[in-house]
Chains A and B, each alone.
Chain A
Amino acid sequence: MVKLIIDNRPVEVAEGTTILKAARQAGIHIPTLCYFELAGMNFENKPGGCRVCVVEVEGRRNLAPACATDCMEGMVVHTNSARVLNARRTVVELILSDHPNDCLQCEKNGDCELQALAKRLGIKEIPFKGTQSTYKKDCTLSVERDMDKCVMCRRCETMCNKIQSVGALSAINRGFNAVVSPAFEEHLGDSSCVNCGQCVQVCPVGALTLVDNISDVAKALADPTKTVVVQTAPAVRVALGEEFGMEPGTIVTGKLAAALRRLGFNYVFDTDWSADLTIMEEGTELLGRVKKVLNGEKATLPLFTSCCPGWVSFFEKNFPDMLDYPSTAKSPQQMFGAVAKNFFAKKIGIDRKDMVVVSIMPCLAKKSECAREEFAVNGNRDVDFSLTTRELAHMIKQFNLDLNEMPEEDFDSPLGSSTGAAVIFGATGGVMEAALRTAYEIQTGKTLPRLDFTEVRGLDGVKTATVDFNGLGVNVAVCYGLANARAMMEEVRNGNPRGFHFVEVMACPGGCIGGAGQPYHHGNSDIIRKRMEATYREDAGKPIRKSHENPDIVAIYKEYYGEPCGHLSHEQLHTHYYDRSTKVEVK
């Protein structure tokens, strides 16, 4: 333990604690900008670059960055001396002097950390007039980039390289011209970007934002010739409330259904339903491969999950030699789209062209996923538009509604019923747990003695377990963050020494609950933790908690698909992958 004095208050902290954290402990909140931490989730960005958190340490020549300076025994720290306040204000004024002054039109208006900082410091004018950086604007199907707003916090760069190992973004140039960019300042869409959108989730300002599809959806809703069907992902219901001032971890499933109905959607369905369907397909595929191996035949193991479009794009770009590992099952979003546009459109007697399927997702990659060519019939997409949780919140507000005042309503039938297994898809380890519940019972023919596979729960980046399938040890792994996934793929490529049978991969920290389309968590991992707890609470409260027991799922196999991994489901519910790696064209 070290003892020090911060703003005349004695503080005692563990060795290795930064001044920033020690001060927080003492109730002193030093402002930061570039600093970003997801505590307990192995993500820390502290380049010490913005210099907003500088403090005065007695005996030191210059000011010290609180985020990167460790407390020392006997240190005397001032966080609000005249020298500090002047320096901090000048630094923020400098940052603002190279930042467009267009807060009112900015996507980040109200969520911007720089805006909050300027407000907190009471900055009324910027004394420095000078050149401002200008860059070409750019967008992919998911991410918009306006680097004029970049403050060089480098969070996106850290996220893209350290956590995701995607390597699409890097700091380029130097000095005043330094900025974060894809190689050669070309389009992000032409880079190794997988549209996971985590750069957007961590960006403190409006430099990286999502591609907004609200107007597309509003237009469809206003079109009387269209039947507009909406599906909403598991992770949305545990986070949407935050946008309306509710406590993180509030479950708003019923209010969500009510709000969607009031927005004018003709059918309010649930992606949870297709999550159950996914388990049927993926679980069957897993058992098929395992059985083959047990019978001495050749089969590719481990099976990797394929619900996460960021992850799918990642392995297509980076592991073209391993395209036969992931499950061919489509993601729940796309299964839903396929069922809606094939089965349900026919059922209600309309042409698929007259149906618009909208998804509400915690995700930015879903926007790119629904635009993939293989998920459309003659240019008509299975899922027409994908909105994020944040966009939905905006839309509810634009439509003059308040989620707090919504009644509790149910989803429509038949694509609205779901089990607890589907709910937990939203958290890392959830798909694995859901699949295990079903696969175990199908494989062994026995009822699970214990439904909660706690060994695959929690916020660790990589979790492994061996599950006893009645004498057969099934080795499973769960990881989030594409760098962890990369390591897993490389391990498998090198002979799968740990003998994994089944691996779940989610691109985003904590799984979909930490998705890039979720309300901004601003680095507070407690928010993600609370969303996770809510997810398991919702599961525990569900009457049915195993996908294969969902009566509507049982019914659709009976009525339409026949059996999991059967002929029709292969046609509609499965997909295949493409080698999208960089290749050399010899001139």
Chain B
Amino acid sequence: MTKIKTHVLCCGGTGCKASASDQIIDEFQNILKEKGLQDEVQVIRTGCFGFCEKGPIVKMLPDNTFYTQVKPTDVRKIVEEHIIKGRKVTDLLYLDPENKQHVSDSKHMGFYKKQLRIALRNCGFINPENIDECISRGGYEGLGKVLSEMTPQQVIDEITKSGLRGRGGAGFPTGVKWGLCAKNKADQKYVVCNADEGDPGAFMDRSIMEGDPHSIIEAMAICGYSIGATKGLVYIRAEYPLAIHRLQVAISQAREYGLLGKDILGSGFDFDIELRYGAGAFVCGEETALIHSMEGKRGEPTFKPPFPAVSGYLEKPTNVNNVETFANVPIIITKGADWFNKIGSEKSKGTKVFALAGQINNVGLIEVPMGTTLREIIYEIGGGIKGGRQFKAVQTGGPSGGCLTTKHLDTAIDYDSLMAAGSMMGSGGMVVMDETSCMVAIAKFYLEFTCEESCGKCSPCRIGNKRMLEILDKITKGNGTMEDLQELRNLAGVIKDTALCGLGQTSPNPVLSTLDNFWDEYVEHVVDKKCRAGVCKQLMHYEINPEKCIGCGACARVCPQEAISGEKKMAHHIDNMKCIKCGACHEKCKFGAIEIK
């Protein structure tokens, strides 16, 4: 038997799949066969590596070579050069933006250097559709340990001691939550995994489910054992077909191995998991709304108490945790609470996964110890702002969070410090903005989202957010007044104070934080009728700089309104009455002659 000498790990996450990673895998297999190397080289489709900006990613093992932005046509070269001749394909290596050097080993890339992968420990490392790979990484040993060596209370104590807090946003201590549910007697209890990741611009949970579905299954069973539940439900977005598929495969494999089902590992403990599909409602991330949705109702939240721990799914005690929270559980059990609570900051233990996106060089999925600063994330991991532009703001916590600015860059990230800064940990979306983003428009963007996603049950959220949006709209159109800014603040405060559910209560955060941190920009919109980022169309117009225009006519040809005129080889002119400010000419002009005024 020939020994396998090389593993080719190919990212099969949604992002990379979208850029043809499937074809790359096929191509590898074909060429390896052609070269007779199919027995020496194993090609594995893994979950997300995190470095989505540079996807599709192909990683060669054991020498840890990290190829980025691989195209199917590059595969032959990798096989012939790297696998057969042992020479690295330099032009596919990651180019360090700082020193313009090619870096071959992911360990030496800024993107990975500061990261610590606990929840993502198996993502991009194992084949998520192969339970054997999971087991050989110690998968299900946590479950084995609790079933054979620990009492349910000991499990709860261990999780409590670890300091793990809910990763879905609010940061409620997980062990305490389990304890509350364990306390309630009932003939049936439920463990629910909240995989309804609705935050626009966040894909942490999806990546975990795609890359390491077994960790979720194992954690849910551990939770079930500790609270006395035999049924688990994963509430997952229907928009995540790949994650659904991987979970289904993983569940059936776990059943086959007896790691789900009756009498797990001979302990007498029964546990099984079913999937429930979300249908596109952000509010269903709120646990009571989620439970209603699973029951086949409109996903409207209800007032707590009663908490789900007392009366949840089908009015039975129910424990709801989010995907990332669960992903931390097995390793806490196997490595111990003491190991875990040494990581992170004073009150926030462990790590947090963020979906880093926006105007940043290294878009992707990252996991850092709690307490890492925003600066470290943006500049060291994220590689700084795209195109060398100026950093302006970073938004965390999605529609529930706020926009932080330069003065917060050295804030250490944990639940409490983000809250204190006027934002929120949220589920982990982190969007970086530069000077091309208008903060009033950003606040409006989030509020539009909230208005669209409000369930409509309580008046402050249903009507209040709509009114705030209308005021913001007025401001971005140049019709705002200083009284409007006053009213915005009052409304935001009242909504925060009176809305029914957590989502309503946090919905004014994007507005409040931008009012706090970017007051000048609001005033500019209101008083000077100016949008410095050139985003608010009514507050800007395009002009052709006759000094720069060479009269090529390219702009006139792309203009959908025929608003640009001019003689050939003479400076052109924009008729602002006709112009719809689509920006097509601005993008087309190679000479920078079309300026935003």
Residues of chain A having any CB pair with chain B under 8 Å:
47-52, 54, 62-63, 65, 68-70, 83, 86-87, 90-91, 94-95, 97-98, 127-128, 130-131, 151-152, 171, 173-178
Contacts and interface: CB of A to CB of B under 8 A. Distances in A.
A51 B456 contact: no
A174 B499 CA distance: 15
Interface stretch (B88-96, B433-441, B461-469): B461-469
Contacts of A95: 459, 463
Contacts of A128: 467, 487
A90 B303 contact: no
Given A128-B467, A130-B466, A62 B497 contact: yes
Nearest to B455: A174
A130 to B, nearest CB: 4
Nearest to B491: A90
Given A130-B470, A171-B298, A175-B455, A94 B496 contact: no
Contacts of A173: 456
Contacts of A62: 496-499, 505
Contact of A51 (B302, B454, B487, B499): B499
Contacts of B300: 171
Contacts of B199: none
A107 B252 CA distance: 61
Contact of A176 (B281, B463, B499): B463
Contacts of B55: none
Contact of B303 (A68, A91, A94): A68
Interface of A is mostly: loop
A173 B456 CA distance: 8
Main secondary structure of the interface of B (DSSP, over half): helix
B109 interface: no
Given A94-B459, A176-B463, A83 B497 contact: yes
B192 to A, nearest CB: 22
Which one of A90, A95, A131, A171 has the highest number of Cβ atoms from chain B below 10 Å of its Cβ?
A90
Given A65-B303, A175-B451, A94 B463 contact: yes
B462 A178 contact: yes
Contacts of B456: 152, 171, 173-178
B455 A91 contact: no
B497 A178 contact: no
Contacts of A94: 459-460, 463-464, 467
B457 interface: yes
Contact of B490 (A50, A90, A130): A90
A51 B498 contact: yes
A51 B452 contact: no
B457 A49 contact: yes
A70 B459 contact: no
A91 B500 contact: no
B453 interface: yes
Contact of B466 (A127, A131, A151): A131
Contact of B459 (A69, A91, A177): A91
Interface string B465-498: 0110010000000000000000100110010111
Interface in B24-82: none
A27 to B, nearest CB: 25
Contacts of A87: 494, 497-498
A171 B460 CA distance: 17
Contacts of B500: 48-49, 51, 65
A232 to B, nearest CB: 41
B281 A174 contact: yes
B457 A178 contact: yes
Given A97-B467, A175-B451, A54 B457 contact: no
Contacts of A68: 303
23 contacts: A48-B458, A49-B459, A51-B500, A54-B498, A63-B498, A68-B303, A70-B305, A86-B494, A87-B498, A94-B463, A95-B463, A98-B463, A98-B466, A128-B487, A151-B459, A171-B456, A175-B451, A175-B453, A175-B455, A175-B466, A176-B454, A176-B456, A176-B466
